[in-house]
């Protein structure tokens, strides 16, 4: 998992032509427990790590912030792999050659994302933060400036005083649309880490004058071995019965079958890991995708140990539909495996909205597609998607709320600078309550990821450490443990440490033995 913020609707930073390879390579980038977040920087004085979000305003908007201070960010051109615009002035067939770009140091720029808006006045972008007390927030944000008729995207910093507990959107942009539907550009703070990026050759056919954006992809990912093909049983097993959740503060644990060096584990290693999780008292494992022979190996272990599975369709780059080879291959692998008696929940997408890989409409369509595909193969259990809380609260997600059977979100108290480890449980429960209330309809809610690191930097009063993790996990377990998936069973040495130096240290399985 790369420790970077992901540009919304911009460069696809991980490569690969299959779900197996892409998920393995994207694991560095997408399974990190970042703080949802300022280019994943732990900023002293911030109450939470933030992210730029687009969509109609749905939260309380505080009074206008004070005038921004002059930016202290570096000036001058930045050579980074933002999408390359290619102009197609007339109808015809166009071929754009491949382009390679090398980034030698971590670079933060003011990039641009696009979103489609209906007629009316809309509030876009900004920084969303949740505070529990009066707090002063200092953070960078992306905005637009107009000088002599030229609109420029810039990064500025601002100081904002949150007067009381609540959710605040800082420095949003307001725009008015006079036509029925239009596409607008929204500036976003985007960080690129060192590496080699390639925009592949593109051949496209256009019928009208248009501009084609060719995104860059990482040129040097490490791929997992190809999974073997599986034959579906003649009669799929009966879908599981009973509800979700656990007892005694234990329900589920996340599991990814990777060795310390990032390579795929053998079936015997997977069996040993799963046996330890079962011995600790958990009844369910959450897996993210189908790479590394996850379904056959983890499925076999689960069956022998009496465990259930939460399985997933992983969206690791823009391409949020069954037409994407990554998504299509995962759907096919799950249908071929078809051990529905082990499955208690299907999760379609993990933070796909937050990472800009899906729009609300695209994710809704993908959920319905999975329901149709898996339903035709014999699965009759519940479906959901999971995302960070801000992605649920700051967009119109009503179509997703209608499509899913249970509500789910990822919530990590460590990334809220005002949350002490002893208060992790109430914080996580409060985050889930916000999302459940947003969707309404009386559907039950569950946390798909939560935990606390044993090592890393202090983020306000949220400090990483062995004792701190024990205190936080105890609080979560006692407050809402029956409804959460703990992250994760063991540490992940193969991950990059991240700017908060915590990414490798989320293993908490030892606390339950």
Q: Are 187 and 152 in contact (CB under 8 A)?
A: no
Report CA-CA distances (Å) from 205 to 92, 114, 198: 6, 22, 22
Q: 351, 423, 468, 503: which one is catalytic? A: 351
Instruction: Of 301, 302, 322, 304, give the one whose Cα is nearest residue 313.
Output: 322
Report CA-CA distances (Å) from 33 to 40, 233, 411, 412: 10, 37, 9, 7
Q: What angle do CA 146, 148, 153 make, to 5 degrees?
A: 30
Element (H, E) at 428: helix 424-439
Q: Are 49 and 412 in contact (CB under 8 A)?
A: no
Q: How far apart are CA 399 and CA 402, in angstroms?
A: 5
**Residue 351 is a catalytic residue:** yes
Report CA-CA distances (Å) from 189 to 8, 157, 186, 333: 10, 11, 10, 36
One-letter-per-residue 3-state SS of 11-79: CCCCCCCCHHHHHHHHHHHHCCCCCCCCCCCCCCCCCCCCCECCCCCCCCCCCCCCCCECCCCCCCCCC
Instruction: Of 206, 240, 199, give the one whose Cα is nearest residue 102.
Output: 199
Q: How far apart are CA 269 and CA 333, in angstroms?
A: 22
Tell me phi and psi for residue 147, to 5 degrees.
-130, 125
Q: Are 453 and 469 in contact (CB under 8 A)?
A: yes
Work out the angle between the directed axes of helices 294-305 and 325-337 (0-180°, nearest 10): 30
Beta-carbon contacts of 362 under 8 Å, excluding residues fewer than 6 positions away, are 320, 321
Q: 32, 217, 423, 449: which one is catalytic? A: 449
Beta-carbon contacts of 513 under 8 Å, excluding residues fewer than 6 positions away, are 276, 279, 280
What DSSP letter does each residue of 192-219 carry, written as one string?
Answer: E-SEEEEE--EEEEESSSEEEEE--EES
Report CA-CA distances (Å) from 354 to 20, 22, 121: 22, 18, 23
**Residue 329 is a catalytic residue:** no
Write out the catalytic residue numbers: 351, 449
């Amino acid at each position: 998992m790369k420790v970077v913020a992901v540009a919304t609707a911009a460069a696809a930073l991980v490569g690969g032509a299959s779900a197996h390879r892409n998920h393995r390579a994207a694991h560095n980038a997408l399974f990190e427990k970042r703080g949802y977040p300022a280019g994943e920087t732990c900023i002293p004085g911030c109450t939470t790590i933030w992210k730029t979000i687009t969509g109609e305003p749905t939260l309380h908007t505080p009074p206008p912030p004070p005038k921004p201070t002059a930016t202290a960010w570096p000036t001058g051109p930045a050579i980074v792999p933002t999408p390359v615009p290619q102009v197609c002035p007339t109808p015809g067939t166009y071929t754009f050659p491949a382009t390679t770009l090398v980034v030698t140091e971590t670079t933060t720029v003011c990039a641009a994302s696009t979103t489609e808006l209906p007629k009316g006045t809309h509030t876009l972008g900004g920084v969303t933060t949740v505070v529990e007390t009066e707090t002063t927030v200092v953070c960078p944000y992306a905005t637009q400036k107009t000088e002599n008729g030229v609109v420029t995207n810039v990064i500025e910093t601002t100081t904002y005083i949150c007067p009381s507990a609540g959710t605040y959107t800082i420095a949003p942009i307001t725009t008015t649309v006079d036509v029925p539907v239009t596409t607008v550009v929204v500036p976003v703070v985007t960080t690129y880490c060192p590496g080699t990026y390639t925009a592949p050759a593109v051949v496209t056919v256009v019928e009208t004058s248009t501009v084609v954006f060719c995104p860059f992809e990482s040129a040097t990912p490490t791929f997992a071995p190809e999974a073997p093909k599986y034959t579906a049983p003649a009669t799929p097993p009966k879908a599981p019965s009973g509800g979700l959740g656990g007892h005694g503060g234990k329900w589920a644990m996340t599991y990814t079958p990777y060795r310390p060096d990032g390579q795929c584990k053998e079936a015997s290693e997977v069996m040993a890991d799963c046996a330890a999780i079962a011995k600790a008292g958990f009844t369910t494992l959450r897996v993210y995708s189908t790479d590394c022979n996850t379904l056959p190996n983890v499925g076999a272990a689960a069956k022998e140990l009496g465990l259930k599975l939460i399985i997933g369709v992983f969206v690791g780059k823009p391409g949020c539909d069954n037409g994407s080879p990554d998504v299509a291959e995962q759907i096919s692998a799950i249908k071929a495996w078809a051990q529905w008696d082990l499955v208690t929940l299907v999760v379609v997408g993990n933070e796909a909205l937050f990472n800009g890989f899906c729009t609300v409409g695209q994710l809704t369509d993908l959920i319905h597609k999975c329901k149709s595909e898996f339903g035709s193969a014999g699965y009759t259990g519940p479906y959901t998607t999971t995302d960070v809380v801000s992605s649920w609260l700051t967009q119109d997600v009503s179509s997703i709320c209608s499509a899913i059977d249970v509500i789910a979100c990822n919530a990590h108290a460590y990334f809220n600078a005002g949350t002490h480890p002893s208060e992790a449980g109430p914080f996580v429960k409060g985050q889930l309550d916000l999302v459940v209330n947003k969707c309404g309809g009386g559907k039950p809610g569950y946390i798909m990821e939560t935990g606390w690191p044993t090592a890393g930097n202090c983020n306000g009063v949220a400090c990483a450490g062995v004792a701190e993790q024990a205190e936080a996990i105890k609080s979560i377990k006692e407050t809402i443990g029956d409804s959460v998936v703990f992250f994760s069973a063991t540490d992940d040495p193969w991950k990059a440490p991240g700017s908060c130096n915590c990414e490798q240290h989320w293993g908490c399985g030892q606390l339950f033995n």
